[in-house]
Amino acid sequence: MTLWLLVAAVVVAAVFLRRFRRWLASMAGAVWILVVLTVMSLLGVMIGQNLPPDAYVDRYGQVLGSLIYRSGLSDIFTSWYFLLSAAVLAVSLVACSFGRLRKLATARGRGRASRVGSLLLHLSMVVILAGGVVTAVFGFRYPAPVYLAAGEEMEVQEGGFTIRVDAASTEFTEEGMISEYFSDVVVIEDGDEVLSHRIEVNEPLIHNGVGLYQHEMLPSATSVREVLFGIVVRTEDGESPLTTITVPFNEEFEVPGTDISLKVLEFLADFTYDIESRTASLVSLSHRNPAVLVRMSEAGSVIDERWVFADVQTHRDDAGLPCRIFLFNYLPDYERGLTRFELSHQPGTPLLFAGFAAMSLGLCLTFWTRTGRKDADGSGVRSKTGSDPG
């Protein structure tokens, strides 16, 4: 789709080129194209991009909201009119570069460096835009982030390999701040382990042109290290004061001074319950509605098993039980965490970076050489170069 739009844009631009050649190559043309791109970018920032349709209706009302969504303003940077403007910019840059080339051929002496710089500056923009097009057409980026736990594998079809995560961990400082996320991965091709690599933030793995980039790490959504419960024990004289106990995950824990023991069997970070199948499961990987499945025993025999929630005060009939428990807090399990990768293939990036390098050189020559600086010096240039190509 994008490709066709771009082809169409270039064809349209080429048709108009004959007619508007002068305008496109002129400074005035350049200024107007830049103004159009600026206004569209401003709209993009102000409106907010790629939100769900309802968000625009909420924000701007029914009429304007749905108009924004339908006209493509909600995804303006891939809209046909933005891409067309970028294509027109590219054509304008090429057109004005011809003029620059002609002037360069006749330029002598000290003005040459600045003219070469200016030409390089404008042509490098075309290279940068071309880099963007190459990535848009031939590249890809996984739309949703990929979460993997240690031991899990994932096939990366586009790169023709599979990755296995051997370890995914978060390192903390003594003060408890996150210092690093890392994932030890093994690359498997045709059943053979060909490479093992530690991926960190800013230290990606790039294999067969596909990059795996470390984003954040989530604590496990199905296990915790330990759980902090509030507990009130029922005695013959009534209820004991509320105290707290720390129960390790999946280990039998005897409540001090009683013959009650508790075991945390399961943890779900975002709990939901399906009534028909009578099963509990995860809604998402975030810790939005945490719950623990607790088994209670008295004098060695199991008397109860129930889900306990962090933010629900009311308890299912626990009148017959020897104690009441409340889920106060828990220590997340980062060792069995979920590593989040961003996967992408950006074949236009080398072109983009080559354009950056050329443009940097062009900028230095244009603005920072002796002749370039001379150009910067005020009124002389202002009046003399009015007919320069844009």
Partner 1 sequence: MQGGIDMLLFWVAFWCYLAATLGASVYAGTRKDGVRTAVFYVTLLGFASNTGALIARSVLSGHPPVTNLFEYLSFFAWAIVLGFLFIWRKKGLELLTAFAATIAFAMMVMASLFPADVSRQLIPALQSYWLWIHVSLAILAEAAFAVAFVASLMCLMGDKRGHRRLPDRNLLDSIAYRAIGIGFPLFTVGALFAGAVWAQRAWGTPWSWDPKETSSLIVWLVYAIYLHVRRTRRGSIALTSGLSVLGFTLTILTILGSRFLGGLHSYG
Compute the C-alpha angle 305/286/60, nearest 5°.
Answer: 130
Quick check: 41 binds partner 1 (CB under 8 A)?
yes
Q: How far apart are CA 208 and CA 244, in angstroms?
A: 53
Quick check: 102 binds partner 1 (CB under 8 A)?
no
Element housing 82 (H / E): helix 80-106
Query: CA-CA distances (angstroms) from residue 165 to 147, 187, 196, 214?
Result: 11, 9, 10, 12
Q: Give, as ranges, the residues between 312 and 371 that touch partner 1 (CB under 8 A).
A: 342-344, 346, 349, 352-353, 356, 359-360, 363-364, 366-368
Quick check: 229 binds partner 1 (CB under 8 A)?
no
Quick check: 27 binds partner 1 (CB under 8 A)?
yes
Decide: 97 and 328 in contact? Cβ < 8 Å: no
* Shortest Cβ 10–partner 1 spacing (Å): 21
Quick check: 376 binds partner 1 (CB under 8 A)?
yes
Q: How far apart are CA 269 and CA 279, in angstroms?
A: 15
* Shortest Cβ 120–partner 1 spacing (Å): 12
Instruction: Determine how many CB atoms are found less than 10 A away from the CB of residue 140.
Output: 13
Exposure on the CB side of residue 292, measured as CA atoms within 13 A: 27
Quick check: 138 binds partner 1 (CB under 8 A)?
no
* Shortest Cβ 378–partner 1 spacing (Å): 4
* Shortest Cβ 99–partner 1 spacing (Å): 13
Beta bridge partners of residue 231, listed in sequence order: 243, 325
Q: Could you give the string, one character per residue 179-208, with x where binding to partner 1 holds by CB under 8 A and - elsewhere?
A: xxx------------------xxx-x----
Interface residues toward partner 1, by CB under 8 A: 27-28, 30-31, 34-35, 37-38, 41-42, 44-45, 48-49, 77, 132, 141, 173, 175, 177-181, 200-202, 204, 211, 213-215, 342-344, 346, 349, 352-353, 356, 359-360, 363-364, 366-368, 372-373, 376-379, 381-383, 385-386, 388, 390
